Structure 1
Amino acid sequence: MLQALRNKIHGWPAAIVLGVSVFAVAFFGIESYFVSHVDTYVAKVGDHEISQQDWQQRLNELRQQAAQDPRSPFTAADLEKPELKQRVLDGMISQALLQQANTDLGLTVSDASVRSAIGTDPGFQVNGQFSPETYRAVLAMQGMSPGMYEQRVRSSLATQILPQAISTTTLVSDADVDAFFRLRLQQRDLRFVELPRPSLTDANVPDSEIEAFYKSHIADYTTPEQVSVQYLEVKQADLKVGEPTDEQLHAYYDKFKQRYAQPEQREASHILVNVPKNATPDQQKAALEKAKKIAAEATPENFAKLAAENSDDLGSKRAGGDLGWLEKGVANAAFDTALFGLKKGEITKEPVLSPEEGYHIIWLRDARDGDAKPFAEVRAQLASDWAKNEGERLYNERAGQLADLAERNPGSLEPAAKELGLEIKTSPLFGHEGGPGIPADPKFVQAAFADDVLNQGNNSSLVQVDKGDAVVMHLAKHNAAAPKALAEVTDAIRQRILDERVDTMARKHADEVAAELAKGGDVAALAKAPVRTLAGVDRSKLGTFTDVPPAILQQVFTLPHPANGKPSWTAVKTDNGAYALVAVDKVVDGDPSKVEKAQRDALRGQMMDAMAQAATLEYIEALKSHAEIKIAQDRM
């Protein structure tokens, strides 16, 4: 075909075709002819894409949180539900919107705020002080560089700028506080009567009704999907670490000497005058003049006040510009040089310009000299640290070998077990909710039901079930979800049908009595049961009424007030399918004047937080209404 084209196109037509082709390649790039763009985002907010990797990473972080925190409001299994996955994505979309709003409003997170957040993180501290070595070591274990982590912290702080600004403008009046305490301290007088459970008049349940009930409630009578897996486990606690030699300890001491020394530190405060990105000469001049004026006015006595009024560093201005204790290398070079060049109590005479931030006025409040501890003094600590480090090294090496062997022999755990001298263990059957023992770990369950293990019959990849504890697994048995035989559940279904019949009769009787009471009937006569009275019930006393059905106590403060002095009777379902009739005879609001100031102030703070959160959510909804948001459901 090319030869035919050459034969037909020659002379000046060929030159034109060639010229157009060269122009197209030069203008668009030759790669555009061979590479097609494929969207991979889960959501797109304006021009910002939320990648599948970022979304999955967030889900994994929440799974770890759920596994480690027994107070977590959700389990790792919950995070497999579409509605919770959507909530996680919605949160990431909200964060993207807040960051975009920051850009539109010219709001930025200063380097000082990032330093402060990292420096006060307990995970990076040794003996209550920030340790650069610990910081780098922790990040290395997570496969992150300081720059990557600092960007993550900056992004997190950026999403807090506007919510904090909204919070500072949220007001709660005395009337709001009084209204709460009037409800919180409210007392109620009520009457109730427990209706006897009706007797069943028709206990006959035909087989056809049982079969129909079974079919319409098949999910209630289905055995869930279950698996059993074989697994190999490597635990750091099981690995034997020998005693270190003096030579090894000296080498460890030389390598990590700063861990056993108190570094030189400075306790500092600062005032930041921000210089916008791409600032004009006039903007730069105005920022410098403002910084010089503040520096001329600044004294140790008024520094905190000036910072609160003038600093553009939102992270420290509320604390009077306090940055805490800083070590060399934590701040940028210009800031570091100025800070460590001051004497205790001094304030920089001239503003210090740092890149991408602006002008700093720095006050050195206190100083600590560095001091190194000799080898002999820290030998015991060295031995402990070396053993811990060596244990981690051996564990990582062993876990790596296990992962490699399992991958090279995907159809069986035998080769890895033989090579590493490990015992192949077998779990009991468990479902998606986990089970006793190691299947209680959500990460273990997730790996067992992954397509690679469950459907393809391969070994899993290495699963880190806990710190210093990793496994690989292989499917041993799989029981698919299946309905139980009708004969197996017939008796349970019959009883359930009978219970529902009694419940229907009880509800009907309660509604009939309530209707007669509304006409002015006598409760004792209609209910044919004793009427009980509870006077002066408030929320703090609910737990003392141990002989009152819990269902009644749960609704005491939701029941309607008396209308025109006449109580309104309400049917409430109690235990065992029975019902009670309950009425409120009197309502007395609490007296806010009797509440101590400390309680009022605490409540005001809680109400401000709640109102600020609600206002922030409204603001985010407003941002959503004006933003172009695309969600790729097929990639979730």
Structure 2
Amino acid sequence: MLQALRNKIHGWPAAVVLGVSVFAVAFFGIESYFVSRVDTFVAKVDDHEISQQDWQSRMTELRQQIAATPNSPYTVADLEKPELKQQILDGMINQVLLQKANTDLGLAVSDMAVRDTIGGDQGFQVDGRFDPGTYRAVLASQGMTPAMYEAKVRSGLATQMLPEAISATTLVSDADVDNFFRLHGQQRDLRFVDLPRPSLTDANVADSEIDAFYQAHVADYTTPEQVSVQYLEVKQSELKVGEPTDEQLHQYYDKFKQRYAQPEQRLASHILVNVPKNATPDQQKAALEKAKKLAAEATPENFAKLAADNSDDLGSKRSGGDLGWLEKGVTTPAFDAALFALKKGDVSKEPILSPDEGYHIIWLRDAREGDAKPFAEVRGQLAGDWAKAEGERLYNEKAGQLADLAERNPGSLDAAAKELGLEIKTSPLFGRNGGEGIPSDPKFIQAAFGDDVVTQGNNSSLVQVGQGDAIVLHLAKHNAAAAQPLAAVKDAVRQRILDQRVDALAKKQADDLIAQLAKGGDVAALAKAPVQTAAGLTRNKLGDAKDVPPAVLREAFSLPRPTPGKAAWSAVRIDNGNYAVVSVDKVTDGDPAKVDKATRDGLRGQMMDAMARAVTMEYVNALRAKAKITVANDRM
């Protein structure tokens, strides 16, 4: 075929064809003939992709958080719900948008802010102080390096920068606070009549009506699905740890010696003059001149005010530049060297340049000398710490073995029970609302009704029902949901029909009474029932009105202010099934002047937080409106 083409096309036509072909290849890229691009992102925000790996990492993190939180409002299975997945992805998209906004605005998280956040995390502290050994051990248990964790912290802080800046500029006026306390302390006087429940004149219910009602409400007469499960449980509190040998304690002491020593520390404050990345010589010069000027002015007496007014470290400026107690190695080498060279009470005379941050002026407020504790002195503490760590190790080991054995023998718990020496326990029957004892735990219930257990008849995966408490389940008995026959519930259906008839009559009775009262009739005469009153009721003390039905109280505080000389009545169904009519006779606003300053300031802070959250969401929504966002739901 090629030879035929060659014979037919030669001379200038061949040159044109060849030229067009070369142009096509050059323009589109020859790789497009061999490689097809396959998108794998879960979401794309402008040019930034949220990869499937990012998505899976976030989901894994949430699963671990749920498993480690006994009273979590969510279960691991909830994470598979489409609506919750969408909420999680929306949060990730919002983080990308906020980080992009930071870049556009030239905002960056300083190394100092990252160190302060990590150093202040109680999970990395021993005796109230940051412990590098504990820090590395905790990260290692989570499969993370310090660099990975610091990047995660930096990313988290970056998403907080704009919300915190918005919060710092949110204002709540005295009038806003006053309006709240006027409503909060508002008092209302009301009248109400509890109308007697009317009697039926016709109590006949035809079989056809009972049958129709039953068919329409068959779900109300269904015995719920129930299961009984066998389960194996590993509890850390029940594991025997034993007594450590001296050799084990010495090994533990050598490994975690820093926990049993008081390192040299410095209590410091600083003022940061930021030097932008890729700063021009003029910007660098201006920052240095500003830093020198502040260093010349700074004294222990005015340092906090100078920091609050001038520092570019948003994390510490509000507290006068306070960095807390610092150890060697926590800050940058240049900062460390300057800090530990100062004497107590000194302020650095020259600014200290720290890479990626800027110039620091340091005030050394106090100092602690290092003090290592010998093995003999801390032997008792060592034994306790070793026992705790050994208990956790044994628990993780045995829980891991349980999960592995249950997975390798999915049809029964017998092999796992025999191998680990555990007793197979059996729960009573319980439904999806749980039962007594262990079936009351939401995670246990979720696992028991999981598809792998109920439908496939397999062992469940490992369920963490509490800290140091792991369980694997297997179905023992399953009772499917089943409708009760009409003959068994006929009397109950008939009674519900009669109750609905009475309820309709009661509602009509209340509506007719309100229509008559609107014409100016007397409520006591028309209702033929006693009129009850309640005065001085407030929103924050509704529970104190024991003689007023809750539904009447709620209705009273939803009614408009009364018009002088004209009562406005409203009908409301109360808890006993009766109807009541209620009217508000008087409204007296609360007096903001009687509220003390501490309470006002506390409320102002709460209102500022609420307003800041609302404004932040408006800002994020505006960013979303401008961005091109693509979501691949099939990859979630």
Do Structure 1 and Structure 2 share a fold, with TM-score over 0.5? yes
Q: Which sections of structure 2, spanning at least 5 residues, go unmatched?
A: none
- Report the alpha carbon displacement of residue 318 of structure 1 after superposing the two structures with TM: 0.7
CA distance in 1, matches of 2:465, 2:81: 21
CA distance in 2, matches of 1:255, 1:433: 48
> Cα distance 1:428–1:351, how it changes in 2: closer, same or farther (>3 A)?
farther
| 2:190 partner amino acid | L
> Cα distance 1:68–1:148, how it changes in 2: closer, same or farther (>3 A)?
farther
Which residue of 2 is the match for residue 374 of structure 1? 374
3-state SS in 1 of match to 2:605: helix
Which residue of 2 is the match for residue 47 of structure 1? 48
> Cα distance 1:550–1:45, how it changes in 2: closer, same or farther (>3 A)?
farther
> Cα distance 1:7–1:323, how it changes in 2: closer, same or farther (>3 A)?
farther
> Cα distance 1:481–1:143, how it changes in 2: closer, same or farther (>3 A)?
farther
| 1:622 partner amino acid | A
Cα-to-partner distance string for 1:204-252 (whole Å, 9 max, x where unaligned): 2333333333333344344444443333222222222221222222222
Cα-to-partner distance string for 1:608-628 (whole Å, 9 max, x where unaligned): 222222222222222222222
3-state SS in 2 of match to 1:67: coil
| 1:409 partner amino acid | N
CA distance in 2, matches of 1:122, 1:272: 26
1:524 matches 2:527: no
> Cα distance 1:158–1:429, how it changes in 2: closer, same or farther (>3 A)?
farther
- Report the alpha carbon displacement of residue 415 of structure 1 after superposing the two structures with TM: 2.3
CA distance in 1, matches of 2:312, 2:415: 62
1:533 matches 2:533: yes
Which residue of 2 is the match for residue 572 of structure 1? 572
CA distance in 2, matches of 1:461, 1:302: 61
More deviation, 272-281/369-378 = 272-281
> Cα distance 1:339–1:214, how it changes in 2: closer, same or farther (>3 A)?
farther
| 2:271 partner amino acid | I
**Selected match of 1:67 from 65, 70, 73:** 70
Sequence identity percentage: 71
More deviation, 564-573/213-222 = 213-222
Does the 8 A contact of 2:122 with 2:128 survive in 1?
yes
Which residue of 1 is the match for residue 498 of structure 2? 498
3-state SS in 1 of match to 2:70: helix
Cα-to-partner distance string for 1:434-478 (whole Å, 9 max, x where unaligned): 443333333334444444444444333333333322233333344
CA distance in 2, matches of 1:489, 1:633: 45
Does the 8 A contact of 2:42 with 2:633 survive in 1?
no
3-state SS in 1 of match to 2:38: coil
Does the 8 A contact of 1:42 with 1:55 survive in 2?
no
Provide the alpha-carbon RMSD of the alignment: 3.3
Does the 8 A contact of 1:417 with 1:424 survive in 2?
yes
Which residue of 1 is the match for residue 297 of structure 2? 297
Does the 8 A contact of 1:339 with 1:362 survive in 2?
yes
| 1:617 partner amino acid | M
Q: Kindly report which structure 2 residues correspond to 1:593-632, keeping only aligned pairs within 5 A, or say none.
A: 593-632=593-632
**Selected match of 1:56 from 43, 55, 59:** 59
Which residue of 2 is the match for residue 550 of structure 1? 550
More deviation, 105-114/486-495 = 486-495
| 2:92 partner amino acid | M
CA distance in 2, matches of 1:353, 1:433: 62
3-state SS in 1 of match to 2:557: helix
Which residue of 1 is the match for residue 38 of structure 2? 37
Cα-to-partner distance string for 1:180-206 (whole Å, 9 max, x where unaligned): 222222222221111101112232233
Does the 8 A contact of 2:68 with 2:464 survive in 1?
no
Total equivalences in the alignment = 625
Which residue of 1 is the match for residue 137 of structure 2? 137
Which residue of 1 is the match for residue 209 of structure 2? 209
- Report the alpha carbon displacement of residue 409 of structure 1 after superposing the two structures with TM: 2.7
More deviation, 356-365/185-194 = 356-365
3-state SS in 1 of match to 2:359: strand
CA distance in 2, matches of 1:494, 1:354: 82
> Cα distance 1:33–1:561, how it changes in 2: closer, same or farther (>3 A)?
same
- Report the alpha carbon displacement of residue 175 of structure 1 after superposing the two structures with TM: 2.0
More deviation, 564-573/435-444 = 435-444
More deviation, 82-91/547-556 = 82-91
CA distance in 2, matches of 1:497, 1:43: 56
Does the 8 A contact of 1:231 with 1:426 survive in 2?
yes
4+ residue segments displaced more than 6 Å: 4-10, 26-30, 74-78
| 2:177 partner amino acid | V
- Report the alpha carbon displacement of residue 41 of structure 1 after superposing the two structures with TM: 1.2
Does the 8 A contact of 2:70 with 2:466 survive in 1?
no
Does the 8 A contact of 1:122 with 1:128 survive in 2?
yes
More deviation, 507-516/563-572 = 563-572
TM-score (norm 1): 0.89
- Report the alpha carbon displacement of residue 53 of structure 1 after superposing the two structures with TM: 1.1
> Cα distance 1:291–1:27, how it changes in 2: closer, same or farther (>3 A)?
farther
CA distance in 2, matches of 1:341, 1:441: 57
CA distance in 2, matches of 1:308, 1:238: 53
- Report the alpha carbon displacement of residue 506 of structure 1 after superposing the two structures with TM: 0.7
> Cα distance 1:29–1:112, how it changes in 2: closer, same or farther (>3 A)?
farther
> Cα distance 1:335–1:211, how it changes in 2: closer, same or farther (>3 A)?
farther
Which residue of 1 is the match for residue 470 of structure 2? 470
> Cα distance 1:143–1:450, how it changes in 2: closer, same or farther (>3 A)?
farther
Q: Which sections of structure 1, spanning at least 5 residues, go unmatched?
A: none
1:184 matches 2:184: yes
CA distance in 2, matches of 1:634, 1:484: 40
1:261 matches 2:235: no
CA distance in 2, matches of 1:35, 1:46: 19
> Cα distance 1:86–1:202, how it changes in 2: closer, same or farther (>3 A)?
farther
> Cα distance 1:534–1:433, how it changes in 2: closer, same or farther (>3 A)?
closer
More deviation, 272-281/78-87 = 78-87
1:315 matches 2:318: no
- Report the alpha carbon displacement of residue 332 of structure 1 after superposing the two structures with TM: 2.8
TM-score (norm 2): 0.89
> Cα distance 1:75–1:471, how it changes in 2: closer, same or farther (>3 A)?
closer
- Report the alpha carbon displacement of residue 348 of structure 1 after superposing the two structures with TM: 3.1
CA distance in 2, matches of 1:319, 1:6: 85
CA distance in 2, matches of 1:517, 1:626: 56
| 2:40 partner amino acid | D
